[in-house]
Amino acid sequence: MDDCIFCKIVNGEIPTKFIYQDENLVAFKDIKPIAPVHILIVPKKHISSFREVSEKDRELLGEALLLAKKLAEQEKIADKGYRIGINVGKAGGQLVFHLHIHLIGGWKGGVR
């Protein structure tokens, strides 16, 4: 997608420091974090919303969720707990129409 900010990040058109990158996924810090740890996990493949996923995306979704677990451990939030979220559609709070997973946590004493 020509106007997709996440596609531009994935393609290197917008400089971003990746926390993780492989052939299918990238991960980077959210520019407007709502918690001490707020990481976005983004497939390199453009899928505009969770509504658009299909059976052929099963492996990619599994990889993304396992990456969330790995990053939670890396960021040292796994033991106390964290949130994994996917906003779907405008009414669901989706602001960027490229599928992505939010990894959110790091509060002292619990969720805010």
- Residue 112's pLDDT band, with cuts at 50, 70 and 90, is low
- The catalytic position among 46, 98, 100, 102 is 100
pTM across the whole model: 0.94
Give the CATH number, domain containing residue 95.
3.30.428.10
Q: What is the pLDDT of residues 16-51, one digit of tens each?
A: 999 999 999 999 999 999 999 999 999 999 999 999
- Domain count for the chain: 1
Q: Does 20 fall in a domain?
A: yes
What are the residues facing 39 on neighbouring strands?
29, 103
Q: In this predicted structure, what is the pLDDT of residue 79? A: 94
Specify whether 100 is catalytic. yes
* Residues 42 and 98 sit within 8 Å (Cβ to Cβ): yes
Alpha helices by DSSP H, the chain: 5-10, 58-74
Q: Does 111 fall in a domain?
A: no
Q: Does 110 fall in a domain?
A: no
Domain containing residue 36: 5-105
* Residues 17 and 89 sit within 8 Å (Cβ to Cβ): no
Q: In this predicted structure, what is the pLDDT of residue 2? A: 73
Average pLDDT, the chain: 95
